[in-house]
Structures are given as structure tokens and as C-alpha cells.
Structure 1
Amino acid sequence: MRPKSGGKAKSQRSSAHARPAPARARRSKGSRRSSRSKGRLLLLAVLPGVMPWMAACEAGPDPDLGPAQATRGAPTFEVDMDWPRLPEDWVMSSVLGLFVDDRDHAWISHRAELISEEDLAAAPGGEGVPAPLVMELDPRGEALQGWGSPEDIDEWPPVLHGFFVDHNDFVWTSARDQNQIMKFTRDGEHLLTIGEFDESGGSGDPDRLGRPSDIVVDPETNELFVVDGYVNRRVIVFDAETGAYLRHWGAYGQAPDDDYRHSPDWTPEDPPRQFNLVHAIAQSGDGLIYVADRSNSRVQVFRRDGSFVEERVLRSGAGGAFSVEFSHDPEQEFLYVADGTEHKVWILRRDGLEVVGELGSQGAGPGQFQRPHNLGVDSQGNLYVAEADPGWRVQRFLFRGWGSPE
């Protein structure tokens, strides 16, 4: 369908709600959370000589059980060998965007421009075609629709990075290299663009973005939260209806500083004071905002107004936090974090952000990962993992119950 013209969003300036945190705080003063006993993970192990699709667990209960138990172990998974079920001649490349909506439909975007003639010739029958840039898959993994091409919209973005389907069924994506956020209907009709094409004004600019990476819409306030992180160093918030600017903040809820120099010798005990490629964002059911600060290998948590709650530095070095998602129990007791450099998914207990396990290892086999880039979770608790270059795929891991407590 030919889109409507997507006009630029007009900004309405307001002050950021930023509250500084203590220099080495891990949890903000006055946080209502308390720590729980550590759980042990029975996870899908991928080890040399072991078939990675065999999970050492039994079929478990539905994830939507009663109140979370402090003694409950972390979730366990088994890789789904029968998902997705795409047409055989479709060739998919580096998968950047992934979101699982309320219908348990997986939305996927990939970088079709990376597909070569050799890749197409390697498809069954030797006559492959690039998969659509945007794909909607049903719970069985079969394609319901595909859209996104230069014929659909003027200046179609080459890289669709983050994806989100909101409570009003609008589809949002970050056109990373164009410095824009775009809003669509489910069938690809273009409704709104936020940001100026190919222009960036720094982390204090309310109108222009700096290679934004991911988005989430708050169903209670209809506010759009954007991690603006490949060039800028902030979370920025807009009205999801009008695109009007509302507020922004940097690491620890402080003002972002584009002149800050990151030390290559930082440690988890003394992490950087500014974001460094803030890459993904998710909102929990209790309204907290979780962001993955990719090159600082950490997750930071905020309230809606930008006030800092807590953080977890997963490890030293870059690339430890590509994406964040939640388990599908009522309390969303566990947090999943994709590590695109060490090729695994961290599993944290959300209360206290303690690491309780990990999933996967580096490799191209079932259950292994090559640069996990984005995560999704459906209503059954199944976990979806999108792999960027060189992985070029999406895998689904079936929820198989809770692990044994420690």
C-alpha cells in the first residue's frame, strides 16, 4: 500500500528530569526492591561433543503462574528445530530487528543489501530471492506478510534496527543510518517520522537524532522512549501520537555529555559515567525502563521520568549488553540480556539484577549463537534470538519450566 506522507515531528521543549546518582551506586537510594536468594539455572548447554538441541529439563508449567517464589530457579529452554518455516527460496541476511507482539507474531527486519548473488545461488534450486525487509511471522513461524522496499516510501531506510508494536497496534522502527524513527500501520502504511533525514545535532538536540537504535511505547502514557545511541548518548522521549519532544537523559539520569572520553581501562567496579552505544530498551510491567548500554556491557534501570534506579555491569570489555527482554511470568522475575561479543544470553534475576545463568555459546549449530543482536519473548515464555552478521538467522527457544532452586 502506498504510504501517507510522513511529516517531520514538531518539537516541544521541556526540561529533562535528571537526578544524579552516587559515583559508584549500583542501586539508587530508596529503591523498593530487595534482594532474593540466588537461583541455579538448568540451561540449554552447548558444549563440544554434545548435541546442542538437547535440553536437560522436563516440560514445565505455563509461565503465567502465581506469585514468583524466591526459591524458584531460572527458566530452562529447548531450541525449536521446527521454527521458522519460511519459503525455501527466501534468503535472509543479518537480522537486526526483532519484536514479538501480543498475538505472538514475530516481527523481523534484516539487511537485504548484504545478500550477494552467491547467497541467492546457494538457496534450494539455485534461485533464491531476498526475503522482504520486514516480515511478520505467525506462532508457527510461517510468513503472514512482508513489506518494506524503495517503492513503499521515499528515502526508504537501508537499516531498520529496532522494532516495536505498541498497544494501539502501530509498528515502530528505528531507521538507524537515517537518524530517524518511523511509525507504520501493521500493513506498512507510513504514518509519522521523527528526526531529520541524515542530520544530527548532538545529545542535547530535541529535534534531531544520532543514529537511534531501539524504541518502546509506554501503554499507560503513550510516550515513545528511544535509545539514541550510535552517535548520541541518551534516552529521549516523545509523544507517540504527535512526535513532540518531551524530555531526555543520559547515564545515571544525568545530562548526556558528548565530550566525555571513555577510558579503555574502565572496570566493572568503576564504570563510565556516560553511555557508550546505548543499544536497546524495554519496559517492565511495573513501568521501569531498562536500557542495554552495549559498549559498557551493562544494563541501567530508570523510572519513567529518567530518575536512576540501579545498574548491573555484566563484565569488563565491550559488547556485553546488546538487547534486553523479560520472562513472561506475572512478576517478570527474570531479565534476558544478549551478549553479542561472547555469543550468549545472560539470565538475571530482575530483583537485584544478579546473574543466575546463561544460554548458548559461539557457533552455527542449533542453540548456538553468532552475534546475538536482539531478543523477544512470547506469551508462552518462549525466547527468540535474532543473530546479526555472521549469524543471519532467528532462533526460537521453547520454555521448558523453571530450574531447580539452589
Structure 2
Amino acid sequence: MSRKIFQISGALILLMLTSATLVIVERVTTAQEATSVPNFEMDPLFFQNLPNSWTTGQVSGISVDNQDHIWILHRPATVAEGERSAALNPPAALCCIPAPPILEFDQSGRLVKAWGGPSQEYEWPTTEHGITVDSKNNVWVAGNGKGDHMALKFSSAGKFLMQLGKKNQSKGSNDTANLNGPAGIFVYEKTNEVFVADGYTNRRVIVFDADTGAYKRHWGAYGKRPDDAFTFPPRAQLIQGPPAQSFSTPVHSVVVSNDDIVYVADRSNNRLQAFTLDGTFLREVFVNRNTLQNEGTVHAFALSRDPAQQYLYVADGSNKAIHILDRRTLTLLDSVGGHGGHNAREFFHLHSLASQPDSKGNLFVGEVNDGQRYYRVRYIGMGKPTNPAYSKVTTQ
């Protein structure tokens, strides 16, 4: 059975029904109108084997720095007992041992550095979640476990520099001193600010000075004050009815484009929202809005490396794909993947996406739960859309 999937290219006509109600009439175009888009292929063999019989658990964060090094954050505690036999006392086998949580790789896929974990200097997350390397080569780490009400800043060599928030101290989504389950971090060089997608319990974006950690501002859905008391309807009703007036949990990712637009992943609401730097709401789009799975569809973002950042890549864990959007119009151009499974060229539990490709245009992804993989999605040039009918992106 053939099916025709449409994408929305933007609202063209606004009809005022009442003083408070707008109906958006949208022009619908097919994705096939995109004549040339970035093409990719899965490259699961890029990363070389780890030394020291090391292995990794769930890969909850991945980042590319300005030297094209790839950084991953994984969860050593999630390495199953049968996969950590060499770490047992006495060892039960020759392999394996959980690697340190932070791993740095060069452009050949070779491990060059490994560090991280608990220390008396700072409060390490109970459950690691999210890593970002900023333009000054500082490494930021967050966590979404019980009591993870903080984020950490290190040098690239692992020297502790700063902690935002304190463990077990959150007072909710309007607490300006503490976080609660921060999921993602983005450092915007132009304003020297750190934007935090906060998170797995809180329902907001919060902004700090990247050097001092001083609180700057925060906001919830539509730029409003976050409301932790907001009650969501049943999911089947949520995805068919009016858009939720609150971010759901988790607020999973945040990036800022060169033209000062903040993109926020409202994962379980199947949408992204765009804002100005001060939190003024601009627009929202839904990605495969009819997805019933509670995990949602908007997991993480990457901004293309060209000066105009023409493309916004969206990782969709529920539908096992990375969607390519025209960033200016937020229309869907193509999708990579969509074939879930454990095969080396399939996504299984897609979770994290480095917020920028490397200088060659390659994307880097990580998987959690039973996926536990990290790999390169190799850019192979511009070409026709390869999977344009797989998904649907709509405005409301």
C-alpha cells in the first residue's frame, strides 16, 4: 500500500476568529520538492576498539569539539555483570572492565583520553546524562538520576572548574540556584552563556553565565513561567488535542543557532519550540505527533556547520531516525534511518546526537538502554532525499 506523507512549509494565512483565537491555514508541499539534501550512511566501524579490556554501558551523551575530537559520556554502572567479568573479585574472565565515563576520540576513531567519575571535589551525577564541549574546550556534564540537581564543568584534561547547583537541593522549576535532572547543555559563545535543558523533573530552560555560574534567566513552554502543577491529559488525548501549555518531562536538549534562535526539545510532547535568547516564543513544530510511545520523538538536535546553519537535525528515538529539517522554515526534507534493530546499520535506542557535526559534516550518535552503542553517521555528499516519506513534521 502506497502512502503520501506531507510536510508543512509554514503558515501562510492567519484568520482571526475571535480576539483570542487564530486558525492557521498552512500550505502543504511534498518532501520530494527538496531537490538536494545532505545524504548519510551508517558507519558503525569508525570507532576503534578500546584499550585495557574496557567496555561501555549506556551512551547518554556525545559531543564534537572544534578540533574534531568526539567525546562520549557513558554510564559505567549500566555495564551488565556478565560484561564486566574482568572487574569482578576474583576476575571471572579476561574481559571486560567498565571504562571511565568520559572518553575522548580523535578523527581516526582512536581513544586519546579517558577520565571522570566521583570525587571529593564535586558531586558526580548518580546517572550520567549529557556532555558538551564548548568553544574554549571546557567539558560540561549533567545527570538525570535521583538527586541529580547539578551540572559540572571541567577542563578538557579533567580538572574540575565549577558546579551549577547542589545535589538533593532542588525546589522546583522556578529555583534559580539548583537544577533537577538536567538532560542537555549548550554553551553559546557569542553571549558566553550556558543553556541547560532542565530536565527530567523540572520543566524549563535555564541560563547561567558560563564563567561565573551566575543565574541569568529561565522559562517554560511558550516562554511562560514554568508550572510544576500542570496536569497532562492521557497521552492519546494529548497528541490529538490542543498543544500542552507546559513542557513535559524530559526537556531533553537545547541548542542555539548563530542567528540567536534557541531550539528546545520537548521530547514527550513530540515537539520542538523555538525562542529568542531572552525566552520570547517564536514558533513550534511537531515531529511525528501521532507517536503514542511515551518516550516521544524529539530527543536531540544538531546544527549544520555551514555559516547559515541551513539544516537542523533532529534525533527521533521512538521512530529510530534522524530527521533533516530546513532550519529557516522547519520543514522536513529527509530522514536517515527508520529501520530499527540491532543490525550494525540500524538504530535501536537512539538517544543522543552531537550538537554539531564534525568539519566534514559527519554526525555522531549514542544509544541508551539495550542499545549501548556509539557511532558515526557519515556524510556522503548532497543528493536527492532518500527517505522523505518516512516522517511528518507539522505546525500547529
Matched, 1:74 2:56: no
Task: Report sequence identity in percent.
Answer: 39
SS in 2 for 1:113: helix
Aligned to 1:91: 55
Give the direction of change, closer, same or farther, for the CA distance of 1:24–1:339 in structure 2 (3 Å limit).
farther
TM-score, structure 2 normalization:
0.82
Aligned to 1:253: 223
What CA deviation, in whole Å up to 9, does each residue of 1:183-213 have, x standing for no partner? 1000111111111212211111111211111
Aligned to 2:373: 393
SS in 2 for 1:252: helix
TM-score, structure 1 normalization:
0.80
SS in 2 for 1:295: helix
Aligned to 1:365: 343
Q: Is the 8 A contact 2:62 2:130 kept in 1?
A: yes
Amino acid at match of 1:305: D
Q: Is the 8 A contact 2:44 2:345 kept in 1?
A: no
Q: Is the 8 A contact 1:37 1:71 kept in 2?
A: no
For residues 36 and 336 of structure 1, what CA distance do their matches in structure 2 show?
21
Amino acid at match of 1:242: T
Give the direction of change, closer, same or farther, for the CA distance of 1:226–1:268 in structure 2 (3 Å limit).
farther
Aligned to 1:56: none
Give the direction of change, closer, same or farther, for the CA distance of 1:25–1:335 in structure 2 (3 Å limit).
farther
For residues 353 and 268 of structure 1, what CA distance do their matches in structure 2 show?
21
Give the direction of change, closer, same or farther, for the CA distance of 1:23–1:86 in structure 2 (3 Å limit).
farther
Give the direction of change, closer, same or farther, for the CA distance of 1:400–1:268 in structure 2 (3 Å limit).
farther
Matched, 1:294 2:262: no
Aligned to 1:238: 208
For residues 24 and 130 of structure 2, what CA distance do their matches in structure 1 show?
27
Aligned to 1:275: 247
Aligned to 1:3: none
**Residue in structure 2 matching 1:150, options 118, 125, 140:** 118
Give the direction of change, closer, same or farther, for the CA distance of 1:387–1:365 in structure 2 (3 Å limit).
same
Matched, 1:322 2:299: yes
For residues 382 and 130 of structure 1, what CA distance do their matches in structure 2 show?
27
Amino acid at match of 1:222: N
How many angstroms does 1:335 deviate by? 1.3
What CA deviation, in whole Å up to 9, does each residue of 1:329-348 have, x standing for no partner? 33222211111222222221
Amino acid at match of 2:115: W
For residues 274 and 317 of structure 2, what CA distance do their matches in structure 1 show?
20
SS in 1 for 2:238: coil
Aligned to 2:171: 201
For residues 156 and 208 of structure 1, what CA distance do their matches in structure 2 show?
15
Aligned to 2:10: none
Give the direction of change, closer, same or farther, for the CA distance of 1:385–1:26 in structure 2 (3 Å limit).
farther
SS in 2 for 1:282: strand
Give the direction of change, closer, same or farther, for the CA distance of 1:288–1:230 in structure 2 (3 Å limit).
same
Q: Is the 8 A contact 1:180 1:193 kept in 2?
A: yes
Which structure 2 segments of 5+ residues have no match? Answer: 1-19, 88-92, 389-396
How many angstroms does 1:269 deviate by? 6.2
Q: CA RMSD in A?
A: 2.5
Q: Is the 8 A contact 2:239 2:269 kept in 1?
A: no
Give the direction of change, closer, same or farther, for the CA distance of 1:227–1:154 in structure 2 (3 Å limit).
closer
**Residue in structure 1 matching 2:71, options 107, 116, 119:** 107
Matched length: 349
SS in 2 for 1:379: coil
For residues 135 and 379 of structure 2, what CA distance do their matches in structure 1 show?
25
For residues 268 and 374 of structure 1, what CA distance do their matches in structure 2 show?
27
